[in-house]
Amino acid sequence: MTVSLKAVTPLLEKGRSTEKGGGTGSATRERRVGQQTLLFRSRPRVVAAAAVAGPKESQGPLAAYWDRTYQDHLLGQRSWERAERQMCLDAANLALEKAGLRPPDIDLHLGGDLMNQLTCANFAAVELDIPFVGLFAACATWAEELAVAAMATDAGFARRVLCTTSSHHDTAERQYRFPTELGNQKPACAQWTATGAAAAIIAAPGGDEEGRTGDTDAPSEAEEGGNGQGAPGHRRAAREPAMSAHGDGTARPAARRGGSVRITHATFGRVIDMGLTDPMNMGAAMAPAAADTIRQHLQDTGRQPGDYDLIVTGDLARYGHRLLVQLLREQGYDAEGVLADCGILLYDASQGVFAGGSGAACSAMVMAGYLLRRLETGDLRRILLVCTGCLHSTTTYKQGESLPTVAHAVVLEAGQ
Amino acid sequence: MARASKDQTQAYQQAVQHVLPPKPIARNTLMAFLVGGTITTAGQVVMNLLLAAGLPRTEATSWTSVVFILIGLLLTGLGVYDKIGSVGGMGAFLPITGFANSIGSAAMEFKREGWVLGVGAGIFQIAGPVVVYGLAAAAVVAGVTHLLQGARAALGMP
């Protein structure tokens, strides 16, 4: 703690410009606070979410929170990429089942992952057959999707938006690092890419009870509409009451069960390049981006870290987390008490994951499986989810470029 | 612009170094010695057995390499060698079993992309640089040796 970060703070404190954000239109003024933060007045709802987990994740401390776990890295598929796609589909279908919805009920599908050309998201979108927008922000994809989904539903461009993201340890190892069976040694600051996927359905409060396209379809088509390969039969049965209730527009128990969590704000981060070049130390590279987004968010909203029960970063892992605490302290925020990191929460230190978890699924799984449930039970009232992403490619770091990083934040609140 | 200046990068790097644990150089060195030593001692045992069985020395060395390439490939396929490597570091990479691991792991990884563009193109992804610079180094050494021998002859030395 003796090393000063004073030299770094001007970069983060300066912000984008001294001008007050907000634009000129009154609609913009209503929807923006400060320089970078969006305010969702309709408070879009997280109708349902699901998280599925690979073998290592299902032995971790959050094992009880996964909707489905897999004991096989390949999921019986013939490639890691196909396994990741299947996890993504499973998460999407589980979330749809929980909400009592079918793909035609969803207006927009936002998906992303770590693979080149968003391989897994694009191929999963073929199966789901929902108008699709692919988003890439590396491991910050999840918060980016939630924020864009909240924008779309708040503005009325979509009634319901499905967000999905996934990552797989072996697809990431192969693309970003070495063949999975190569006996190479990693430093303590390396991170373990999480195997898993998450999905969430975001809906505008007014719009989510109406306009189910299921109304126009015969109920018998509900089965194939679910599109859930490997979905257990009892889960489908549980969905039936919700589906049969659509005709008279009365209570939909499946949709009401959870879904009390709201997205109230989002802060899109700037891309920050701290000049670090080691892709085996992404936590350190991403910490300044997280600090910048958190500082900007607090400044925009006039809140203090204590206004949140938890400020949870995506995948800074052990050392990045410590750097974030320092960086925020340099800027006058003592957030250590409320700061947590999904990469640390996801695994036990004894699981051999170096500094902690990473990957697009890391923050998504922890949010969709664990944090959301704690919000629904009222255990947490308001959290700031800050997903962090390292935006380098295998080409750029071989060419000696430094690591550009980004952090996007969304505020999740419990209650109506 | 959200790009750090050189000074900022330097200041931040110092802070990063301060947070990171020191590299376990002593432990890594010891483990590399133990793992590498075990593999090479086993190699010596196999070679001695082959020599005792009456094989000429040149053939015995070749057969020992073949045996350890097979062992390396087998342990790679069984998913064991990556764990040995993560503990042993260079001690596991340097012996011929490590070379076999680099070839075998790449072959396994790229087989899903087909035999020609997958295995064929990808098998030397890790070992390729070793082969390229091994050959380059050998060429340099051979050249230097040749020149020195020429100089020696010109000076009339034996």
Chain segment A95-138, per-residue pLDDT in tens: 999 999 999 999 999 999 999 999 999 999 999 999 999 999 99
Quote the pLDDT of residue B2: 84
| Cα angle A58-A63-A68, degrees, rounded to a multiple of 5 | 65
Residue A3 has pLDDT above 90, yes or no: no
CB contact under 8 A, B98 and A183: yes
Quote the pLDDT of residue B1: 63
Quote the pLDDT of residue A5: 77
What percent of chain A has a predicted confidence (pLDDT) above 90?
76
Measured in whole angstroms, the distance separating CA B120 from the mean position of its chain's CA atoms is: 20
Closest CA in chain B for residue A82 = B112
B18 chain-A contacts, CB cut-off 8 A: 1-3
The two beta strands, A108-113 and A196-203, are unpaired
Task: Please classify residue A307 by burial: count the beta carbons closer than 10 Å to its beta carbon, then call 0-12 exposed, 13-18 middle and 19+ buried.
Answer: middle
Q: Is some CB atom of chain A closer than 8 A to the CB atom of B92?
A: yes
How many angstroms separate the CA atoms of A181 and A7, rounded?
Answer: 42
A281 chain-B contacts, CB cut-off 8 A: 16, 20
In whole angstroms, how far apart are CA A230 and each of A89, A234, B16?
Answer: 10, 12, 46
Residue B11 has pLDDT above 50, yes or no: yes
pLDDT 10s digits, B87-109 = 999 999 999 999 999 999 999 99
pLDDT 10s digits, A282-330 = 999 999 999 999 999 999 999 999 999 999 999 999 999 999 999 999 9
How many angstroms separate the CA atoms of A360 and A346, rounded?
Answer: 13
Q: What is the mean pLDDT of residues B11-24?
A: 93
Q: Which one of A24-28, B72-76, B119-123 scores highest in mean pLDDT? A: B72-76
Q: What is the mean pLDDT of residues B135-156?
A: 92
Quote the pLDDT of residue A7: 75
The two beta strands, A382-390 and A404-413, are antiparallel
Least confident of A151-160, A217-226, A333-342, A380-389: A217-226
Quote the pLDDT of residue B151: 87
Distance from CA of B13 to the nearest CA of A (A): 7
Of A166, A231, A172, A230, the closest CA to residue A198 belongs to A166
Of A101, A156, A164, A96, the closest CA to residue A132 belongs to A164
**Helix A282-301 with B6-19: angle, nearest 10 deg:** 110
Quote the pLDDT of residue A250: 37
Q: SS3 letters for B103-125?
A: HHHHHHHHHHHCHHHHHHHHCCC
Better pLDDT: A269 or A250: A269
What DSSP string describes A77-125?
Answer: -SSHHHHHHHHHHHHHHHHHHHHT--GGG-SEEEEEESSGGGHHHHHHH
CB contact under 8 A, B105 and A188: no
Q: Is some CB atom of chain A closer than 8 A to the CB atom of B3?
A: yes
Residue A353 has pLDDT above 70, yes or no: yes
Quote the pLDDT of residue A212: 56
Q: What is the mean pLDDT of residues B147-153?
A: 89
- List the 60-89 stretch of B: residues with Cβ below 8 A of A: 76-77, 79, 81-89
Better pLDDT: B84 or B152: B84
CB contact under 8 A, A188 and B7: no
Closest CA in chain A for residue B82 = A183
B19 chain-A contacts, CB cut-off 8 A: 284, 319, 322-323, 326
Better pLDDT: A5 or A189: A189
Give me the residue from A8, A182, A188 closest to B105, CB to CB.
Answer: A182
Better pLDDT: A239 or A99: A99
Size of interface A-B (CB pairs under 8 A): 128
CB contact under 8 A, B9 and A322: no
Residues 6+ apart with CB under 8 A from B26: none
Residue A209 has pLDDT above 60, yes or no: no
Q: What is the mean pLDDT of residues A370-388?
A: 96
| Cα angle A178-A113-A171, degrees, rounded to a multiple of 5 | 25
Q: What is the mean pLDDT of residues B24-35?
A: 96
In whole angstroms, how far apart are CA A332 and each of A187, A321, A322, A407, B18?
Answer: 32, 17, 16, 20, 21
Closest CA in chain A for residue B2 = A272
Q: Is B78 helix (H, G, I), strand (E, B) or coil?
A: coil
Quote the pLDDT of residue A298: 96
**Helix A80-99 with A119-128: angle, nearest 10 deg:** 50
In the structure, what pLDDT confidence band is assigned to residue A231 with cuts at 50, 70 and 90? very low
* DSSP secondary structure letter of residue A191: B
Quote the pLDDT of residue A28: 73
In the structure, what pLDDT confidence band is assigned to residue B158 with cuts at 50, 70 and 90? low
> What integer best gives the mean pLDDT of chain A?
86
CB contact under 8 A, A179 and B14: no
Of A108, A118, A110, the closest CA to residue A84 belongs to A118
**Helix A317-330 with B6-19: angle, nearest 10 deg:** 120
pLDDT 10s digits, A399-408 = 999 999 999 9
Quote the pLDDT of residue B124: 93
Distance from CA of A140 to the nearest CA of B (A): 18
Give me the residue from A5, A180, A292 closest to B15, CB to CB.
Answer: A5
Give me the residue from A3, A185, A292 closest to B15, CB to CB.
Answer: A3
Q: What is the mean pLDDT of residues A364-386?
A: 96
Q: Is some CB atom of chain A closer than 8 A to the CB atom of B97?
A: no
Residue A276 has pLDDT above 60, yes or no: yes
How many angstroms separate the CA atoms of A201 and A254, rounded?
Answer: 13
List the single best residue of B1, B6, B7, B9 to mutate versus A (max A Cβ within 10 A): B9
In whole angstroms, how far apart are CA A324 and each of A63, A252, A319, A362, B141?
Answer: 27, 43, 9, 18, 51
Helices (H) and strands (E) in chain A, counts: 15, 16
The strand ranges marked E within A224-276 are: 261-267, 272-273
